[in-house]
Every structure is written in C-alpha cells, then in structure tokens.
C-alpha cells in the first residue's frame, strides 16, 4: 500500500489555536504601523505630558487634526496601549507604557523600532519582482531608511558609546583623549562620529559611506559645531584595499550588507596600525536557524534581512549574507582576514547586537 494515501487526523484544536495566532499577528502588525505613526507625529510625547484629556485637547496640544487623532486613539485604546475613560471621554498614557513609547524614554523607546515595519512594507512591490528575478535593491528604493536607521542607532549605539561601548577596549578612552586617528566604515547618519568628535577633540575622525545623503545632515552639523576634527567621504568600500593607517576602525551594523563583506573586513585589517583596533558591532544572531528560535525579535530581524539587508547586498553584486549572518560567520571572517586576537562581547543595554574587538 502506498503510504502517501494515508492521512493524519485533522487536529481541530491546533487549527483553532493557529487561527488565533494569525489574527494576533495581523492585529499586532497593524498596531505597529500605528505606533510608528504616533511616534512620528509626536502623539505619545504629547499624551505623556497631559493629564487625562479629550481628543480635542490632545490634538490641540500636538498641533494635529482632531478627527485623525481620534481615530488613531481608537487603535491605541483597543490595542490596550492608551487608557480610555468613557464617562469623561478622556484618554491617558500610563507611565509604564510611556517608558517604552516616548522620546524621553530613549534608549528604551520601542516606537523607534516600530518604524522598520513601514520601511519594509515600502518595498513590497519591488520585492515581489525580486522573488521572481533574483535581482537586488538599492538604497534609493527605500523610503526613510537612513532616517530610521540613524534614529535607531542613536538609541542602541550613540547614547551608550562613551560609557558602555568604547570602554570594552581597555585603554581606548585614554588613547582617544590623547589623540588618535579613527575611521568609521559605512558611517550612515554619522551620529556616532559627531558624538566622538565632540568628546575627544584631540582625535581625528573620518566617516565613509556609499551614500552621501546618509551623512549630509551630520556634515552640516559638524560645520555648525566647528568640528574641524571630523570629515566625511563618499566611498564604495569594495573598491579599495586600504583606507590608510588608523589607530581605530569602527563599524556599527555595517559589515553584513556590504557588496563584499569578507573583503571589507580584510580592508579594515590592512587599514590598521600595528597596535590598531577594529571595534565592530553587528547583529548578534546565529547562522543556525534553530538557535534563533528563542529570540522574540527573530521574526523582525529576518524580515529586515529579507526586505533590506539581503537585497541591498545582492543589488551591489554581493552574496546577500543577510542580517542574521551570525556571530559565527563574523568570527570566521575576522579570523580569515588575519586578525589574531578577537573578543566577542554582549552588553547589558543591547539585546540585539554583538560587539567584536579585533586586533592584528
């Protein structure tokens, strides 16, 4: 008898549970978009600053149209984010919720991260085509990617840079205070460089990125602030074997979506002085899919990988490693590039990334 003719008994309870799970997934996705919108127009900040208020009072405080604010509030109330008093028709944001939704809550403002859902959705049509063609995407396909990435990186990287990230390299703060040469690869919005240039006026900082528009605002800010120790360059990192001779190379969430990630790590190796250090931050996932099952952020990280990091690399002619290329792959690349001393760190403030300290 052909075993394929046998069917397993349909589990109605399992099916029902899965249907409930799917409804929750769709509802949460809709809520995430509304969280992003509320963050961008300042509604969470306005709500947190007010006593229980009507939709009219909230709209007036935020400088927004009441009808749209009222409908947004309906989403927030039914998703149990905002509290509603039906007797007085007033709305309030509990302090425990504001602690994860307002700009004052940084670096714990999850509303910032919610914006990545909209960024991913903005290229859905293009990705349907890419599923068929296998082609990649380019940065100009995306709405607001550099803006959202800069805001997210500000929370995870810039705010913790001086007190938590740089100190994982023993003696680095002192060297920066004395004056060294630093280059930040794929610097994006340049906020980390602005922070370091202000904090360490004796050191010299260079930011390089493929997209000039990514750091345009930071370049203007550096000029306004009189930071003559900070410069920016537009550069395709896959076209050079060395960037010069630097005492410190930093790369914040920069390697995995490059055209040639291994080649970039080799370029970094060739760009360091003898006692130089490569400080690399990248996504702390695993290349083993099962290992990521316990991470509640894995679905979001794989979505960002599919809708941005993988097609961006392929669009440059790269291998498409993806966001979840894995700590293991990063360690392999560093070793293959020639780094003899590699340390891997996890920091309490950052549940997403791993930090690598590599020396020649």
Domain ranges of the chain: 12-103, 119-359
* The token pair that represents 88 in the structure block: 């007085």
Kind and range of the H or E run holding 12: helix 12-40
Kind and range of the H or E run holding 281: strand 272-283
Q: Does the CA dihedral 274-318-312-138 come out positive or negative? A: positive
Helices 55-62, 66-78: crossing angle, 10 deg rounding: 120
Choosing among 3.40.50.2000, 1.10.10.10, 1.10.3470.10, 1.20.58.1880, the CATH entry for 12-103 is: 1.10.10.10
Other C-beta atoms lying within 10 Å of the C-beta of residue 179: 13
pTM, to two decimals? 0.89
Q: What is the pLDDT along the chain (360 residues), one digit of tens a residue?
A: 445 555 679 999 999 999 999 999 999 999 999 999 999 999 999 999 999 999 999 999 999 999 999 999 999 999 999 999 999 999 999 999 999 999 999 999 999 999 999 999 999 999 999 999 999 999 889 988 889 998 999 999 999 999 999 999 999 999 999 999 999 999 988 999 999 999 999 999 999 998 888 899 999 999 999 999 999 999 999 999 999 999 999 999 999 989 999 999 999 999 999 999 999 999 999 999 999 999 999 999 999 999 999 999 999 999 999 999 999 999 999 999 999 999 999 999 888 999 999 999
How far CA 307 is from CA of 192, 203, 330, in Å, comes to 25, 37, 21
How far CA 327 is from CA of 98, 214, 246, 288, in Å, comes to 33, 26, 25, 10
Backbone φ, ψ for residue 167 (5° rounding)? -65, -10
Write out the CATH class of domain 119-359.
alpha beta
Looking up tokens 């996932």 gives: 285
- For residues 55 and 75, give the distance between their C-alpha atoms in angstroms, rounded to a whole number: 13
Measured in residues, the chain has a length of: 360
Backbone φ, ψ for residue 23 (5° rounding)? -60, -40
- Identify the CA nearest to 325 among candidates 355, 285, 291: 285
- For residues 184 and 182, give the distance between their C-alpha atoms in angstroms, rounded to a whole number: 7
Q: Confirm whether 12-103 and 119-359 share one CATH topology.
A: no
């Amino acid at each position: 008898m052909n075993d394929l003719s046998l069917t397993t008994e349909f589990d109605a309870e399992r099916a029902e549970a899965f249907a409930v799970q799917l409804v929750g997934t769709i509802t949460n996705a809709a809520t995430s978009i509304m969280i992003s919108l509320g963050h961008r127009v300042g509604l969470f900040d306005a709500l947190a600053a007010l006593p229980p208020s009507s939709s009219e009072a909230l709209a007036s405080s935020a400088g927004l149209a009441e009808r749209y604010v009222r409908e947004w509030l309906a989403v927030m109330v039914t998703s149990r984010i905002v509290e509603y008093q039906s007797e007085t028709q007033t709305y309030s944001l509990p302090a425990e919720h504001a602690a994860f939704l307002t700009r004052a809550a940084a670096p714990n403002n999850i509303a910032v991260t919610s914006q990545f859902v909209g960024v991913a959705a903005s290229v859905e049509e293009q990705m349907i085509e890419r599923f068929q063609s296998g082609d990649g995407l380019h940065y100009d396909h995306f709405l607001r990617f550099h803006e959202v990435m800069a805001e997210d990186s500000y929370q995870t990287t810039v705010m913790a840079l001086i007190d938590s990230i740089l100190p994982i390299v023993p003696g680095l703060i002192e060297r920066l205070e004395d004056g060294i040469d630093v280059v930040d690869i794929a610097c994006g919005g340049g906020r980390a460089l602005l922070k370091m240039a202000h904090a360490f006026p004796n050191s010299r900082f260079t930011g390089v990125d493929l997209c000039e528009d990514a750091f345009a605002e930071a370049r203007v800010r550096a000029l306004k602030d009189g930071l003559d120790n900070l410069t920016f360059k537009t550069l395709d990192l896959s076209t050079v074997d060395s960037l010069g001779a630097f005492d410190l190379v930093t790369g914040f969430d920069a390697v995995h979506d490059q055209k040639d990630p291994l080649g970039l790590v080799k370029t970094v190796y060739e760009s360091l002085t003898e006692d130089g250090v490569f400080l690399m931050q990248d996504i702390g996932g695993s290349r083993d899919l099962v290992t990521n099952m316990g991470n509640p952020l894995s679905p979001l990280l794989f979505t960002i990988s599919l809708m941005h990091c993988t097609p961006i690399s392929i669009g440059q002619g790269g291998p498409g490693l993806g966001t979840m290329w894995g700590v293991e792959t990063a360690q392999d690349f560093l070793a293959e590039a020639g780094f003899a001393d590699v340390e891997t760190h996890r920091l309490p403030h950052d549940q997403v990334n791993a930090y690598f300290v590599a020396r020649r």
